[in-house]
Structures are given as C-alpha cells and as structure tokens.
Amino acid sequence: MNRRDFLTTAAALAANAQAAPNARIQVGVIGCGARAHELMEAIMQNPGTEIVGVVDAYKGRVERAIDRTKQRAKAYASHHDLLADRSIDAVVVATPDHWHKPIILDALAAGKDVYSEKPMTYKASDGREIIRAAQAGGRIVQVGSQGISSQSQRTAKEMIRAGKLGRVTMIRAAYNRNTASGAWIYPIPPDASPKTVNWDMFLGPAPKVPFSLERFFRWRCFEDYSGGIATDLFVHLCTTIHFLMDATMPARVVAMGELYRWKEQREVPDTLNAVLEYPQGFTVNLSCTFNNQSAGEGAFQFHGTEGTISLGFGTLAYTPENVIEDNNWIVESWPKALEDAYYRDPKVIETEVAPARNRKKAETQVFKDSKSDSTIEHFGHFFDSVRSRKPYWEDAVAGHHAAACAHLINLSVKQKKMTEWDFELDDIRA
Ligand SMILES: NC(=O)c1ccc[n+]([C@@H]2O[C@H](COP(=O)([O-])OP(=O)(O)OC[C@H]3O[C@@H](n4cnc5c(N)ncnc54)[C@H](O)[C@@H]3O)[C@@H](O)[C@H]2O)c1
C-alpha cells in the first residue's frame, strides 16, 4: 500500500467512525464552568444533537451540568474517561486555557471532532501541533469566537468585500470594563474546598502550586493558566478582523500593558494597548481597560477611504465618507489676486467649490441582528461540519492565528520590544 492509498483508506475509516449524516450527534462537554453552561444551552437549541457526557474539576458544576441536561448526561471522572466512550462523536473543550492543547490532542487521538473555546492555544507553537493532528486524523476542529457567526459580522464582511469601504488601512477595536466581575474577580461558590475541587485535575500541565480557590475560580488573573486580556479578549477581536479582512497574521506587533488598579491576587495587566501591522496594508489598534467602560464593551471601527463600519455586539453601523477637498485656509494667506484666481480654476471648481455647494449629510445605515445569540449559530456551523466533514471558516488554522496574535502581543509587553511573525514557520519569529 503506498502512502496515498493509506491516507485514502484512513480517511474512509475515519469518516465511517463519524456520525452518519442524519444521525443524532452525541456530545461530551469537557470543563463545565460558566461558559460551558452557556454553550450547553446553545447546543440544546441545535436539533439532532444531545449532550451525553460531562466532566469538571468542581463537583457543583458537574451537578448543575447534569441538571441542565435534565439528568440525561452522564458524569465522567476525567476527560480521558469521557474520551474513551465510543458513543461520543464530538466534544466541547471549555476548560481554562492551559488545558486546551492537551485535551484537544487527546480528543483528536480518540477520533472525536472538537469545538474548543478560544483561545485555541496557551502558547503559539501549540497551534501547529493541533493543526497537524486534526489534518492527520481528518477531524473537525472549530474554535469558539462566536462573533463571526453573527449576522452583523457576516454583513460587514460582505460590505467590505463589495468595496463599500474603499481601501481599509486602519482598524480600531476595544474592550472596556469597570467592574470587579469584568476584571475577572468572580464570586467563589461557598461550598468550594479541597473536598469539592479536584486541584490536581485543574493544574494538569501547569506548575504545581498549593491549593488556591482564587487560582481555581479566577484563573484568568494568573499567567500559569491564561494570557490575560490578550488571550481572553483580543483573541475575539483578532478573529473578527481576520474574518472580515481575509487576513491571516500581522507581520509586526508592539504592545504595552500595565496593572494599575486590580492589584490583589493578579499577575496580568488591567490595561493593554497593541498595534498590529498586516502585510496586506492595514494597521490595527487594539485597546482594553478594566478601569472605565464609557467607550462600551466590544466595539470595532473599520476605517476605509470610502466609509466606516462600526460593529458592536449584534449591531452594525455603516457611514459613507463625506469628505471634500478644502484649501480655503491655505489660499486665503496668498495675495488676494492669486486666491481669486485659484477659485476660478475649473479643476478647483470641480473638486472644491461644486462639491461644497452640493454637499449632503452622510446618512448612517444601521443593521441589527434579528437572531440574538451567535453562539447558537456558531454551533450550527460546527454540527454542519461534523455531518458534512467540511470545516467552517473558524477551524484550527484560524484559531491558531487569532491566538498567536495574542501571544505576539504578550511577548511584546514582556520583552518591551516589537515582535514579528514568521510566515514560513507559521510561528513567532525567534
Ligand atoms: N466564547 C466566549 O465568548 C467565551 C466566554 C467566556 C469564556 N470563554 C472560554 O471558555 C473557557 C472556560 O472559561 P469559563 O469562563 O467557563 O471558566 P470557568 O472557570 O468558569 O470554567 C472552567 C471549568 O473547567 C474546569 N476544569 C479545569 N480543569 C479541568 C480538567 N482537566 N477537566 C475538566 N474540567 C476542568 C473547572 O473546574 C471549571 O469549572 C476558557 O477558555 C474561556 O476563554 C469563552
């Protein structure tokens, strides 16, 4: 058997192991925390699917997950046990970030399709490992930055493709918050203790440190488990920007991060600014503060020579550019006769005088999503892929790149210098 025959047979075997096109897709949920409970609600809105298995490192969340599935899901002691269940076709990985790669790789090795929460990776080199494993086994990997499945973001992509913005050279995007919860200081359930929390299961590949409920429930604040604002929030912004702009990666990144306010039990910045320069010819400014939210949470502006798109959560506003050449303040400093001659020039009449006379107010067009929950739509795409074996846009490659932007940003902050992407290696330039 040559290599090609072998791959064809392997792909056929892999496809056979998958759910038949119209069969119900049996789902296992690995990590049943706050996000997973939202994900379970979204899965249950997708017909032809059932959550049959759950696993978590805190007892209370297992209990609630089983309740949420009306006692239909079974609890497993570890993700290994859940993955060994051959009746499970697909898994959702919604653990803290340091666990994503090992669990995704174990799931792919067990022949499961994977919906992984963002960021797909904890460090940039994880990405290629996951891509290779998914390709080798012919598995579907979809990453959970659900915004791109919203109607507003899909409409924005079509508008940019149709040239409504002209040439886009500047994109601004931000997340801003001003609450303890927004800064990830979450309440800790009163029954949490070494009896109800499996500390070793949580730590997994992370450094061994003493039991800490703060680390367990507020893991985003600690570098052993999270890359903070960049991997938690900017990864969503980068996913959307890559999707709308048909972009893969920035060539160069500079960033600065500071911890100004939420200093107790926290290692990661609460204020982060980053500039990303893309080889297609546009620059992105990303910013986030946890110390003021007047600018609103999760907003983008795509600035083009012909117009601007502002995106919020579920809204899109398009404003055409309405600019006219105006050199009045320059020529009125010239000798009077030259100024008068300037305004008699037919070219100036065409480009400045007539447009100013006929100027209309630029009307902003606003679109609102009629479907409110993009996570339901995002799962719809995942389950379509599980059935059709055709990956959706936000596959392992897209997940790798969005997360890698966050890793470039964090490295720039740490090293206090510009970081670069090596397009050939598909990794951070050493
Ligand atoms: N797409 C989005 O909008 C969105 C929103 C929130 C969170 N997230 C992502 O979802 C993931 C989970 O975040 P969260 O807010 O739900 O955190 P969380 O702390 O509420 O949940 C994580 C859960 O994983 C469990 N866990 C830890 N190690 C485990 C292991 N080895 N096996 C099984 N379970 C384990 C923990 O007990 C915990 O209940 C993160 O990757 C986060 O970035 C995505």
Banded model confidence at residue 256, pLDDT cuts 50, 70, 90: very high
Question: Average pLDDT in the 6-22 region?
Answer: 45
Choose one of 29, 30, 32, 35 to mutate for the ligand 1 pocket test, by most ligand atoms within 8 angstroms of C-beta.
Answer: 35
Indicate where the chain has its CATH 3.40.50.720 domain(s): 3-148+378-388
Q: Does position 1 have pLDDT exceeding 60, yes or no?
A: no
CA distances (Å), 140 to each of 15, 225, 383, in order? Answer: 11, 25, 10
Q: Does position 14 have pLDDT exceeding 80, yes or no?
A: no
Ligand 1, atom 40: closest residue by C-alpha: 96
Ligand 1, atom 17: closest residue by C-alpha: 33
Banded model confidence at residue 6, pLDDT cuts 50, 70, 90: very low
Separation of CA 118 and ligand 1 centre (Å) = 10
Question: Average pLDDT in the 43-69 region?
Answer: 98
Measured from the Cα of 33, ligand 1's closest atom is 21
Q: Is the CB of residue 116 less than 8 Å from the CB of residue 61?
A: no
Sequence-distant (6+) residues with CB within 8 A of 151 are 367, 369, 370, 371
Banded model confidence at residue 296, pLDDT cuts 50, 70, 90: confident
Separation of CA 100 and ligand 1 centre (Å) = 10
- Class of the domain covering 3-148+378-388: alpha beta
Ligand 1, atom 25: closest residue by C-alpha: 31
| pLDDT at 362 (0 to 100) | 85
Banded model confidence at residue 20, pLDDT cuts 50, 70, 90: low
Region of poorest pLDDT, from 25-39, 79-93, 356-370: 356-370
The closest alpha carbon to 203, from 106, 65, 102, belongs to 102
| pLDDT at 360 (0 to 100) | 87
Per residue in 319-347, pLDDT (tens digit) is 999 999 999 999 999 999 999 999 999 99
Measured from the Cα of 57, ligand 1's closest atom is 37
Separation of CA 29 and ligand 1 centre (Å) = 11
**How is domain 159-322+361-372+397-428 classified at the architecture level of CATH?**
2-Layer Sandwich (3.30)
For ligand 1, residues with CB inside 6 Å are: 30-36, 55-58, 61, 79, 94-97, 99, 117-118, 144, 146, 201-202, 204, 219, 232
Q: Does position 15 have pLDDT exceeding 50, yes or no?
A: no
| pLDDT at 9 (0 to 100) | 42
Q: To the nearest whole percent, how much of the chain has pLDDT over 90?
A: 90
Length of the chain: 430
Q: Is the CB of residue 171 less than 8 Å from the CB of residue 261?
A: no
Find the largest Cα–Cα distance for the chain.
90
- Name the residue with higher pLDDT: 361 or 51: 51
Separation of CA 46 and ligand 1 centre (Å) = 21
Per residue in 123-134, pLDDT (tens digit) is 999 999 999 999
Per residue in 384-417, pLDDT (tens digit) is 999 999 999 999 999 999 999 999 999 999 999 9
Region of poorest pLDDT, from 117-121, 295-299, 303-307: 295-299
Per residue in 141-158, pLDDT (tens digit) is 999 999 999 999 999 999
Question: Distance between CA 365 and CA 228 in Å, rounded?
Answer: 35
| pLDDT at 4 (0 to 100) | 31
Measured from the Cα of 79, ligand 1's closest atom is 32
| Cβ count near 329 (within 10 Å) | 7
| pLDDT at 21 (0 to 100) | 52
Separation of CA 76 and ligand 1 centre (Å) = 17
Q: Does position 5 have pLDDT exceeding 50, yes or no?
A: no
Sheet arrangement for strand 419-422: 365-368, 315-320, 307-311, 299-304, 168-176, 282-289, 271-278, 252-258, 419-422, 427-428
Question: Average pLDDT in the 11-28 region?
Answer: 64
Question: Average pLDDT in the 176-205 region?
Answer: 97
Q: Does position 316 have pLDDT exceeding 70, yes or no?
A: yes
Indicate where the chain has its CATH 3.30.360.10 domain(s): 159-322+361-372+397-428
Q: Does position 2 have pLDDT exceeding 50, yes or no?
A: no
